[in-house]
Structure 1
Amino acid sequence: MDELAARWDLALVASGGGSTSRVFRCIKQDTGTSAWPKLTPEPGIAREEAEALQAWAKTPSVVTPLAQDLAAGALLLEDVEPGVQVSRRAWNLVEAAALLRDLRAGAPVPGEHSVLRLLSHRVDFVCDLTDRRLAAGDVNDPAVSKVLRQARAAALELAEGGPVGLVHGDLHPANVLSGPGARMVAIDPRPAWGDPDFDAVDWVLAGVADSAALEQRIEELAALVPDMSPRRVLGW
């Protein structure tokens, strides 16, 4: 971090948390503005995030990358103001729809040299992680294992048979910040190429207590997001 701070002319203010990375708050010494170096011990994760952020570079609903050192697993990200996690405030479907529209409109098709993998890989990762967590908690209920197998098969079928766009992959309200003009700004993608409807899941499930309410919420969101399929969102 000291080496990066010297190269990027940063003054370290504080370090933050993270699961696969560590984020630091810094001050850019030439402008006095905040910036956020993000370090991961897995350079492949940094490469994937960097590709997605560059692809969304013209999209104001995604955090802006300022610099990178991918061999070191390091990204330098622009500050987002006011920067409150959306999970910590009230939000509505109109705001979520604007975010999802921007992500779709600003995303290219896969390039020949893309380092991003297919959404099916993300599905397997999430299901494998769930398997490990169940095992760590000594959950050996055959009914739970059966549900997870069925969920994996259904999700892989959706992933392998749908449209292909740039997917954020981890778009829940804690990975979205309040930006200028009350715009939602996405951070921390775990990106993949696949069905963009995957990114809608957390936004339609929030606060829903039964299937009828879920279907109504999906219909409301799909009416605000062109090309969103209510059937596929419900499937996810």
Structure 2
Amino acid sequence: MTEAPGPDPLDPRAPSEWLTWMSRLPAEGGPTGADWVATVDRLTRECLDAWDLEVTGPPMTGWTAVVHPVVRRDGTGVPLVLKVGWPHVESAQEHLALRAWDGHGAVRLVAADPSRGALLLERLDAGHDLDAVDIDEACTVVGGLYRELHVPAPPTIRTLTAYLDPYLTQLRQRTDLPRRVITRVTGLARELLAEPGPRVLLHTDLHFQNVLAAERAPWLAIDPKPLAGPAAYELHPLLRNRIEEMGTGSSLRWSVRRRLEVTCDAAGLDEELGRLWCMVRCGVEILWAAVDGDDAELSKNLTLLKALED
């Protein structure tokens, strides 16, 4: 019997397993996952034609986007990637942030087609992120990137206040969460949002897998979910990722403070403000976990919130 040929690595179609997972997503300011997966391969082909690209390898998938390695057909050979993503609220302004940074601290945007949810980007080393780098070194790298990324926010970028308000309202309405947690988080958010200070362009999801090695710089950020707000808001992703390395009890509390200290030193941020904003973000993630019925995420963020308390 002749073995059936495997999938063509140059086929611009998204992986079927990933499409099945994506099809379960409800709409978040755009099409449902099911509606979008029916169009993604067509959108990819349209972008390949519009930007005169050819695929050079198998696709990679992220949480809500498929990424194809490509080059232009003009023979220049510059390695690029075509990212086609499911349209939702958090991804809607990614191209605006990348354009504002213009390659400083982040992957360089070559072209964007927001109507198709498509970005043409410089190609980084997708196999080399900060996930296996010594944690102090990784936090230092991220802190250094914050210094480059925290430029004045363009006026079109959604504000942190506009982003948080609906979640804080939902949190106040929950009856299945500890009242002390709700009171602490919502009160703290109100105080922090009222503080004066510069509103910078925030990445908001700069965890260890969203930093990739590059040729023109040691490390660059990818996949921003941009907001305009205070710089100290950024830090929570560094705590919720690689959390298993921090242990439990007093070890967890020490490790949380250590990550904040190292990152804030490298970034020039106020560590105390960073700690307080991390508490607010724990509260939002507690809300999400409660809505999703995710007991593991609920427990993780309640534990992290406790470790952040004085």
Question: CA-to-partner distance for each residue in 1:126-147, whole Å, 9 max, x for gaps?
Answer: 779999xxx9xxxx8443x763
Is 2:238 aligned against 1:203?
Answer: yes
Count of aligned residue pairs for this structure pair: 223
Post-superposition offset of 1:62: 0.5
Give the TM-score normalised by the residue count of structure 2: 0.60
Identity %: 23
Work out which of the residue numbers 80, 100, 118 in structure 2 matches 1:35. Answer: 80
**For residues 171 and 214 of structure 1, do their structure 2 counterparts lie closer, same or farther at Cα, with a shift above 3 Å needed?**
same
- Largest Rg, 1 or 2: 2
Shift of residue 67, structure 1, vs aligned partner: 0.7
Deviation at 1:104, TM superposition (A): 2.9
The one of the two structures with greater contact order (alpha-carbon pairs below 8 A, sep at least 6) is 1
* Contact 1:122 1:169 (C-alpha < 8 Å) held by counterparts: no
Taking the TM superposition and a 5 Å limit, the aligned residue runs for 1:1-236 are 1-12=44-55, 13-29=57-73, 30-42=75-87, 47-59=92-104, 61-81=105-125, 83-87=127-131, 89-111=132-154, 114-123=155-164, 141-143=176-178, 147=181, 150-161=184-195, 163=197, 164-180=199-215, 183-203=218-238, 206=243, 207-208=245-246, 209-226=251-268, 228-235=269-276, 236=278
Could you tell me which runs of 5 or more consecutive residues in structure 1 were left unpaired when the two chains were aligned.
Answer: none
> What do residues 187-215 of structure 1 show as CA deviations (whole Å, max 9, x unaligned)?
10000011212222333565333324433
The two structures, once aligned, show a CA RMSD in angstroms of 3.3
Bigger mean CA deviation after superposition, 171-180 or 35-44: 35-44
Is the 1:45–1:73 Cα contact (8 Å) retained in structure 2? no
Cα distance in 2 between the residues matched to 1:45 and 1:212: 32
Deviations 1:85-108 (A, max 9, x none): 322x22343443343333333443
Q: Which whole-Å CA distance do the structure 2 matches of 1:58 and 1:18 have between them?
A: 21
1:40 positional shift: 2.9
C-alpha spacing 1:66/1:184, structure 2 compared with 1 (3 Å): same
TM-score normalised over the length of structure 1 = 0.76
CA deviation vs aligned residue, 1:56-88 (integer Å, no higher than 9, x gap): 1141x211111111222211111013642322x
Q: Do the aligned residues in 1 keep the contact of 2:145 with 2:220 (CA within 8 Å)?
A: no
> Structure 2: where are the runs of 5+ without partners?
1-43, 279-310
